[in-house]
Amino acid sequence: MVKTPPRGTAPAWRLTHWRLLLAGVLLSLPLSLQALDAQAADEPTAKAESSSEAEWPQGHYPLPEEGDIVGETSTIIAEGSDTLLDIGRRHGIGYEEMRRANPDINVWYPGEGSEIVIPSRFILPPGPREGVVVNVAEMRIYFFPEPKDGEAPHVETYPVSVGRMDWKTPLGTTSITQMVKNPNWYPPQSIIKEHAEDGRGKLPSVVPAGPDNPLGSRKMRLNIPGYLIHGTNRPDGIGMRVTHGCIRMLPEDVESLFAKVGVGTTVRLINEPFKLGWSEGTLYVQAYPYLDEEEGTTVDRITNALAQVDQAVEGLDYSVDYARLRDVVEVPGGLPVALEYTAPPNQQRAPKTLYEQLELIAADTPKTVDVEAAKALVEPS
Active site residues: 230, 246
CA–CA gap between residue 24 and residue 13 (Å, rounded) = 17
CA–CA gap between residue 62 and residue 156 (Å, rounded) = 9
Q: Are 293 and 331 in contact (CB under 8 A)?
A: no
Amino acid code (one letter) for 124: L
CA–CA gap between residue 125 and residue 46 (Å, rounded) = 25
301, burial (CB in 10 Å: exposed 0-12, middle 13-18, buried 19+)? buried
Beta strands in the chain (DSSP E): 60-62, 69-71, 74-77, 115-118, 121-123, 131-135, 140-144, 154-163, 172-181, 218-222, 228-230, 241-243, 247-249, 266-270, 274-279, 282-287, 337-338
CA–CA gap between residue 66 and residue 60 (Å, rounded) = 17
- How crowded is the C-beta side of 62, counted as CA atoms within 13 Å? 12
Q: Are 354 and 22 in contact (CB under 8 A)?
A: yes
Nearest to 72 by CA among 83, 84, 56, 86: 56
Q: Find the helix or strand (DSSP H, E) in which 84 lies.
A: helix 84-90
Please state the separation of Cα 75 from the chain's center in Å.
19
What are the angstrom distances between the C-alpha of 165 and each of 31, 207, 241, 272, 293?
A: 28, 25, 8, 17, 10
Nearest to 237 by CA among 135, 170, 176, 163: 163
Find the helix packing angle between 322-330 and 298-312, rounded to 10°: 130
